[in-house]
Structure 1
Amino acid sequence: MGRLSFFLIAGRRTIRIGIDPRILGALATIVFAVLTGFGIFSFRTAQKALDIKRLASLKSENQILRSRISRLANDLEEIKVLLADIYKTDQSIRLTYGIELISGDLKSPGIGGKPDVEMREVGEVVKEVDRLLAAAKFERESFEEINKHLINKFKILAHTPSIMPVNGILTSGFGPRLDPFTGRMRFHEGQDIAAPPGTPIVAPANGVVTVVKRKKGYGLTIEIDHGYGIKTRYAHCMAAKVSSGMRVKRGDVIGMVGNSGRATGPHLHYEVHISGKKVNPLNYIIRHEVVVD
């Protein structure tokens, strides 16, 4: 291969320089290698700097996440304590009102010590959240059950006789007694309450008036069906303030004391029937004074 010639002109002089092409190729190769190496070095240096920056950012994010997990773990402990208190209240209410106690594995969430965030994985925190959420849902269902039970219980209480039907003096009680007309022993099926004629008679509980008529021996009689197998009877009335089919509430005036029928004087003959059986009315009088609405 021929040599490459380069001419340098310096003033009037011309200098000819001959260079072997192989030397020129070698120089070009060296220059390319140097530039390539410098490029690779620069890229790796920039990449390392970027990695360091990313690592610092990840460390910062990790610290923030660890702080949040720590707060979340502490919040979970507080929630566990609150749920434990709710569970105790739940059981207490059930015991008080005779509702079946909670049983099974899903009861009160356990109360542990402060969690060690260093050893705690995010997955464990998520599992704890799921468990507490399940416990909270269980308690919500439990309180819904309690609420339904109490609503029904209060409804029954509202329909259960619990007050004196009239202001007066208790005289002949429930049980065997001498019949004032025959002088013979006879079972008295109610409670007599002596009061002046015209004294208001009130309903001792919520219910529906089923009877307003005169009956042999009882005179003018009023009967109320309170539901749940409970009925009451009021005999010897002077007058009725209600009619059959009317709904009444505890304390509503239903009639006036009199001495109609087989009576020796003005008084109310009061009966309580439970599931068709006559029982002692005094067992259904909690309050002995009458408040007339």
Structure 2
Amino acid sequence: MPLKKHKKITIFLSAGVTEKIRQFKLPGIAAYVAPVLILIATVFLFLGFLDYLSLKGEHSRFLALQKENSFNKEQFLHMATRLDDITQEMSEMRELDQKLRTMVNFEVAEGASDSVGVGGSDPALLDPKRNLSAVSPELIRAMHRNLGDLSSEIELNKRNKIELFKFLDEQKTVLASTPSMWPTRGWTSSRFGYRSSPFTDKREFHKGIDISASMGSPVVASADGIVSFSGLDRGYGRTITIKHGYGLKTKYAHLRKILVKKGQFLKRGEIIGLVGNSGKSTGSHLHYEVHLNGVPVNPMKYIID
């Protein structure tokens, strides 16, 4: 039985008109295999193109995430740096508070002087060149720790400021109640302490100071207080006594006229009477005394204006 010959496919190739034509003979089965191979190649090329598009999209998203991560890292480090700055500012405020307390001689309550220790972040953690994923856990813990310390420091600072405010407010009252003002304008004709009596020429203790001034010159309260006496007082003549609190009391004697009444509240600098020559006196002047806890003291120790 004669063998069946397989058909062959002849392919002619020419590089140009003048070039020699080349021919290739392929088995007939190639007519069936070639389209299949072309189809498979096309499918692979299409799938490869899809993979390329997918990788390109992933790369774009990666670049976007990388940019966002870089921005977040910058913001994160900025926040950590700002927290350190606030910590430093709190430390400076604490020092200023201590200086202020020292200036006004305000004693801090026992246990309150020890301020909360506020640390800062490790400078190495704030290095922008470091990997954020490696730094973040440590930096977050440091930030939480600093925030906790700052919260305690702020609360302590608030309490200290309230205490200082109360102290200064009380000091304001003390200053207003301190007889630091001249009760009248004139010249000091007799000082506090032992002197020769202008009447007997004997040595006696002068409980205040005498301020010579024109008849009718205004006399003012040298500090805030309440009038405890207003009237005639034997040798002192027309006299006013003012209680200022804190153990302080002032006396204004030999007045020509009294302008206040017992129990009246007075402000520092308020006119209370007029300079005169009433009582046992040698001329127009004001006899002025300051008593501390019932003991006469030198008024000049208090007068500053």
CA distance in 2, matches of 1:229, 1:104: 34
- Quick one: structure 1 residues 254 and 122, their matched pair in 2 at CA, closer, same or farther if it must change by over 3 Å? same
Contact 2:190 2:210 in 1 (8 A): yes
Matched, 1:98 2:105: yes
User: How is 1:125-144 mapped onto 2 (pairs within 5 angstroms)?
Assistant: 125-144=143-162
Helix, strand or coil at the partner of 1:233: strand
Aligned to 1:230: 248
- Quick one: structure 1 residues 62 and 83, their matched pair in 2 at CA, closer, same or farther if it must change by over 3 Å? same
Helix, strand or coil at the partner of 1:208: strand
Helix, strand or coil at the partner of 1:217: helix
Q: Percent identity?
A: 36
- Please report the TM-score for the alignment, with normalisation by the length of structure 2: 0.72
- How far the C-alpha of 1:115 sits from its partner, in A, is 5.4
Partner AA of 1:225 in structure 2 = K
Which of these residues, 83, 108, 119, is aligned with residue 90 of structure 2? 83
Helix, strand or coil at the partner of 1:198: coil
| Superposed CA offset, 1:103-146 (max 9, x none) | 32525x34676451453332221111111121122112111111
Helix, strand or coil at the partner of 1:235: strand
CA distance in 2, matches of 1:152, 1:243: 27
Aligned to 1:272: 290
Aligned to 1:116: 125
CA distance in 2, matches of 1:185, 1:275: 25
- Please report the TM-score for the alignment, with normalisation by the length of structure 1: 0.74
Matched, 1:189 2:221: no
Partner AA of 2:226 in structure 1 = V
- Quick one: structure 1 residues 199 and 237, their matched pair in 2 at CA, closer, same or farther if it must change by over 3 Å? same
Aligned to 2:75: 68
Give structure 1 regions of 4+ aligned residues with deviation exceeding 6 angstroms: 51-61
CA distance in 2, matches of 1:214, 1:116: 82
Structure 2 residue runs of 5 or longer lacking an equivalent are: 1-50
Q: Which moved more, 1:210-219 or 1:53-62?
A: 53-62
- Quick one: structure 1 residues 232 and 115, their matched pair in 2 at CA, closer, same or farther if it must change by over 3 Å? farther
Matched, 1:251 2:260: no
Aligned to 1:9: none
Matched, 1:158 2:176: yes
RMSD: 2.5
- Quick one: structure 1 residues 224 and 146, their matched pair in 2 at CA, closer, same or farther if it must change by over 3 Å? same
Contact 2:116 2:149 in 1 (8 A): no
